[in-house]
Amino acid sequence: MASASKAPAQPTQLGAFTARLFDRVKPIWERTHQHPFVTGLGDGTLPVETFAFYMKQDYVFLIDYAKLFAIASTKAYDLDTSAKFAALQEATLNSEMALHRAYAERFGISREELEATESSFVMLAYTSYMLKVAHQGSLAELVSALLPCMWSYWEIGKRLAEIPGATAHELYGDWVSTYSGDEFGELAQWLIGVMDDLADGKNERELARFEEHFLTTSKMEVLFWEMAYRKELWPACQS
């Protein structure tokens, strides 16, 4: 992979707290950048059946992920923020999931089959954790838990887009283009800004809790890529 050894560049417009998060998460996200699933997306060597397994798991993941934005909308501190979270839910349920449905159609997978996908253990653990935080925690805790998914995908997309031919690949080019694109990047930057706003004025005990959620779900992202690469539904429990 052409950019495999490149150190992650700090995004622009990071506030004090998200810069702290970015510094702490670098080793975890670098594991993602080096993961064979991700490098396979960039150089086009990822087996089609592995990508199809991932798309199905990610589709059912997004169903729960969209619920987090709905909960965030109800917890928002002002009308504009509430509306933006509602718009994020709409974008997830329509634009992002449309990418998955388009890929499924290319693989001969019906929408009904896609929505009936059996959830993997990792997917269930990941979304259950975030939903627990969403229901029991503050808006700041919720954002800190859901932010790694969007932010890390943007980081992955940007890095893969630097590889010659990655965005033009006949199968994986649409994926790379979506997550490296300006529209997705603007959403990620907005959510990063919300995290900084919510962290402003909080004491160290609260900031440490946000950081813990952020690092936990970042680790879950790594596990999600590994689960998809192995096409593993239930570790040590395969029937």
List the catalytic residues. Answer: 149, 221
Nearest to 185 by CA among 208, 151, 232: 151
Q: Which residues contact 58 (CB under 8 A, 6 or more apart)?
A: 100, 228
Per-position b or e across 184-204, b if 16+ CB within 10 A of its CB: bbebbbbbbebbbebbeeeee
Alpha-carbon torsion 174, 47, 154, 74, what sign? positive
How far is the CA of 162 from the CAs of 26, 28, 166, 171, in angstroms?
Answer: 19, 21, 8, 17
Structure tokens at 19: 């810069």
With beta carbons less than 8 A apart as the criterion, state whether 93 and 61 touch. no
